[in-house]
Amino acid sequence: MSFFWRLTCSATLENIEIFADAIEEHVLSVGWFETTNPEIWMVEATVRKEPEMAFLQQLISEAAAQHKVPSPHLHVEKLPDADWLEQTWKNFPPLEIARFYIYGSHAKGEIPEGLIGMEINAATAFGSGEHQTTTGCLETLCDFMDAGIQVKNPLDMGCGSGVLAMAVTKLWQMPVLAVDNDPESVRVAAQNAATNKCEQLMHTLCNEGFEGDVVQKYGPFDLIVANILAGPLCDMAPQMVANTIKGGRIVLSGLLTRQIDEVAAAYEVAGATLVSVKNVGDWATLSLIK
């Protein structure tokens, strides 16, 4: 049996992203969530091989020192992959989000009338549909459909398990490019596309953002969806806008409501205008137009 490791540390909401960002490039997936104490939030990351705890703790400590905040202690727990993934996914019931009904094979049944079904199973890629950022993106995409916005050449940047890319193909019946820098995410996204019978419309690609010219060869795009984190979204702003056609739409999520101005400003400088904001809990989804 192979194993995963789960890394956790706690901090206040104001500081939590500092520590998630500090280890993001060295883990398979990372996120943060509120605990039973509303003043304390938890960073949770997963890795495939035994983590270098001294190195990761050093990253946490250096980030704390840079921002002049207390340094949390990083904890690690070994998890059997099959048991952990199975149990984690079974904790989530089917979800109804806008036009979509998202479920795992363990909850397979009749799809409610009028909803679009998407089967997402336990896997090592981030994104099963339950996070508030995914909700915001799915609702925004459905708003576009309701408004009669046409999409011909879309991109899902940082696709994770492929939920948003599949949503685009099911709404507009158009080919979509799904890009992620993690090979496992790309594998799982392709597997999910096959499960949901949209593999003919969904092309998966492993690439570090817009680096090189491989992504540009598919563009420019009239819709880009990116559910990542605020820092990478800001870093990608010039390339994201440059690879969008004039009048094209950009949907951004993975940011907290307090980060809206920061992210919107980065895209305004790059040439995109903020059109709308959708808040789901503490998380925001931005809709912009070039």
- Picking from 105-114, 168-177, 272-281, which range would have the lowest pLDDT averaged per residue? 105-114
pLDDT above 70 as % of the chain: 89
Residues 222 and 282 in one domain: yes
Mean pLDDT for the stretch of residues 121-127: 49
What is the distance between the alpha carbons of residues 156 and 266, in angstroms, rounded to a whole number? 19
pLDDT score, position 195: 92
Q: Are residues 70 and 151 in the same domain?
A: no
Does residue 244 share a domain with residue 137?
Answer: yes
Q: Which domain holds residue 11?
A: 3-87
- Within-domain flag for 98: no
218 and 135 in a common domain: yes
Query: Which percentage of the chain shows pLDDT scores above 90?
Result: 54
Q: Is the pLDDT of residue 10 over 60?
A: yes
**Within a domain: residue 135?**
yes
Q: What is the per-residue pLDDT across 128-140, written as a single tens digit (0 to 9) for each?
A: 445 688 889 999 9
**Considering its fold, how many domains does the chain have in total?**
2
Q: Are residues 133 and 43 in the same domain?
A: no
Q: Are the C-beta atoms of residues 275 and 287 closer than 8 Å to each other? A: yes
Quote the CA–CA distance of 271 and 190 in Å, as a whole number.
Answer: 32
Query: Based on the domain organization, do 131 and 70 belong to the same domain?
Result: no
Residue 96 lies in a domain: no
Q: Distance (Å, rounded) from C-alpha 67 to C-alpha 46?
A: 24
Higher pLDDT, 81 or 226: 226
The yes-or-no verdict on residue 146 having pLDDT over 80 is: yes
User: How many residues appear in the chain?
Assistant: 290
94 in a domain, yes or no?
Answer: no
Beta carbons of 118 and 134 less than 8 angstroms apart: no
Confidence of residue 265 (pLDDT cuts 50, 70, 90): very high
Domain boundary residue, one of 87, 114, 142: 87
What CA–CA distance (Å, rounded) separates 267 from 112? 38
Q: Looking at residue 209, what is its pLDDT?
A: 93
Computed over every residue of the chain, the mean pLDDT equals: 87
Where a domain ends, among 57, 87, 117?
Answer: 87
Same domain? For 161 and 277 the reply is yes
Q: What is the pLDDT of residue 17?
A: 85
Please tell me whether residues 157 and 228 are part of one structural domain.
yes
Tell me the pLDDT band of 105, cut-offs 50, 70 and 90.
Answer: low
Residue 214 lies in a domain: yes
Under the banding of pLDDT at 50, 70 and 90, the label for residue 125 is very low
Quick: pLDDT tens for 208-224: 999 999 999 999 999 99
pLDDT, residue 92, reads 58
Shared domain check, 214 and 75: no
Residue 256 has pLDDT above 90, yes or no: no
Q: Distances from the Cα of 220 to the Cαs of 102, 129, 241, in angstroms?
A: 30, 27, 10
* Tokens 């540009």 belong to residue: 216
In a domain, 112, yes or no: no
The per-residue pLDDT for 257 is: 87
| CATH code of 36's domain | 3.30.70.260
| 34-87 per-position pLDDT tens digit | 788 888 898 888 887 888 999 999 999 999 999 999 999 999 988 765 555 555
> Do residue 211 and residue 163 come from a single domain?
yes
Q: Quick check: 16 pLDDT over 90?
A: no
- Does 100 score more than 60 pLDDT? yes
CA 285 – CA 277 distance, rounded (Å): 6
Going by pLDDT thresholds of 50, 70 and 90, the confidence category of residue 91 is low
CATH number at residue 136: 3.40.50.150
Whether residues 162 and 281 share a domain: the answer is yes
Burial class (CB in 10 A: 0-12, 13-18, 19+), 132: middle
CA distance 245 to 177: 15
Tell whether 39 and 171 lie within a shared domain: no
Rounded Cα–Cα distance for residues 77 and 61 (Å): 20
**229 neighbors 254 (Cβ within 8 angstroms):** yes
Indicate whether 64 belongs to any domain. yes
Domain assignment present for residue 107? The answer is no
